[in-house]
Amino acid sequence: MVSLSESAGKLDASGMLGHLRNFPSDLSTAWNQAETWNLKSIESQTYNGVLCLGMGGSASGGDFLSCLSDADGCLPFVTHRGYGLPTWMSEKWLVLATSYSGNTEETLDSVEAAIELGCTVVGLSSGGHLQPMLEDSNQLWIELPGGQPPRSAFGHIFGTQIALAWRLGIMSPPENQAEMIKRLAEAVDACDFIHDDEDDVVVEMAQSILNRQVSVLATQSLAPAAYRAACQLNENGGVFARPHVIPEMNHNEIVAWGEDKAADNQSLLIFSWDGIHERNDLRLDWFLDNITVEPTWGLLCEGDSHLEALLYAVILMDWLSCAVALLRGKDPTAIGPIVGLKEHLSQ
């Protein structure tokens, strides 16, 4: 069998694996850059909550912010994927609009509605129409480094989003950020199958799930990582995958998992971490003791904080999704159907 190193040389023409290697440094760069922002126009304001606008890779950060704030925050963060605004929206909410290209039509539509409503809007993009839309309306625009697929720019995107929350005092930054970045870099190195893909656990996982339906199971504190993992397997790997969250799935889907042969041709990836709620830990133990799915991979997300555990999951699943792509003979950057749909919508 051709090694993934050879496959990457032939298929990864756009350098997706290089972007994955840069993830920790992208985070660090975003956090350092945040110290230079002029936030005088918004830092003294008070808000009822934060509405995070975005689609695809640009929206994932809103899910992570919401999860972190639900566990240890002072404001609700709500992710809005689509056109317009929720009917309950008011000018007392901060709007965080993220479009990596700056041209995402759903996000631009929502930003226009937010400006008309009188909201304070902060936009993140690498340029595009979002920049002049905000600057012409005396709103704040923050530049993201461009030149890569949005889903590979999560370090830039989420790093900037959470740094903004830290600067505004609506989230608390973790201690010893430099040490966390160092550990995340070590995690990237451990997942990088190009070093030695013959005995690599990421490659072994990818091979085991290659021809099976993929389910990603997480407890509620890691829910956004499970959703993003499924999206990365969809987009990078070109395979169907779906997320499930404990305890909600214990009230419905668990029945199907327990039916004889219902889980045939399934593969299961299970996220957990040391900060799991004790009741969810019991639920997960019961699931593992009573539901048999082959293959099942238990993935303990390492880290000294909730944030680090989520970021560890990002690293692991980014590399797994690219390993799946290469094993299938797919360029992990290629997104033909998305390009085709955008061309159709532009007509």
pLDDT of residue 341: 77
pLDDT of residue 198: 64
Classify residue 225 as exposed, middle or buried by CB count within 10 Å of its CB (0-12, 13-18, 19+): buried
pLDDT > 90? residue 8: no
Confidence class of residue 7 from pLDDT cuts 50, 70 and 90?
Answer: confident
Amino acid occupying residue 311: L
DSSP 173: P
Of 30-34, 41-45, 289-293, which has the strongest mean pLDDT? 30-34
pLDDT tens-place string over residues 296-309: 999 999 999 999 99
CATH of domain 37-167: 3.40.50.10490
pLDDT > 80? residue 347: no
pLDDT of residue 241: 96
pLDDT tens-place string over residues 234-257: 999 999 999 999 999 999 999 999
Q: What is the mean pLDDT of residues 22-39?
A: 97
Distances, alpha carbon 273 to alpha carbons 187, 280, 308, 312, in Å: 15, 11, 10, 10
Q: DSSP per residue over 288-340, as a string?
A: HHH---SSEEEEE---SSHHHHHHHHHHHHHHHHHHHHHHTT--TT--HHHHH
pLDDT > 70? residue 196: no
Q: DSSP per residue over 226-278, as a string?
A: HHHHHHHHHHTT-S-EEEEEETGGGGTTHHHHHSTTTTTTEEEEEEE-TT--H
pLDDT of residue 287: 93
- Residue linked to tokens 């999206």: 231
Give the C-alpha separation, 266 to 278, whole Å.
27
Domain spans, the chain: 4-9+180-327, 37-167
pLDDT tens-place string over residues 319-344: 999 999 999 999 999 877 777 877 78
Give the C-alpha separation, 33 to 166, whole Å.
13
pLDDT of residue 33: 96
Classify residue 139 as exposed, middle or buried by CB count within 10 Å of its CB (0-12, 13-18, 19+): buried
Q: Where are the alpha helices (H) located in 95-171, listed in sequence order?
A: 105-117, 130-135, 154-167
pLDDT tens-place string over residues 131-188: 999 999 999 999 999 999 999 999 999 999 999 999 999 999 998 999 999 999 999 9
Say if 4-9+180-327 and 37-167 have the same CATH topology.
yes
Q: pTM of the predicted model, to two decimals?
A: 0.94
pLDDT > 90? residue 1: no
pLDDT > 80? residue 123: yes
Work out the angle between the directed axes of helices 154-167 and 306-327 (0-180°, nearest 10). Answer: 170
Of the candidate ranges 99-113, 115-129, 333-347, the one whose mean pLDDT is the lowest: 333-347
Q: What is the mean pLDDT of residues 227-236?
A: 95
Phi, psi of 6 (to 5 degrees): -70, -40
pLDDT > 90? residue 279: yes
pLDDT of residue 2: 59
CATH of domain 4-9+180-327: 3.40.50.10490
Q: What is the mean pLDDT of residues 89-107?
A: 97
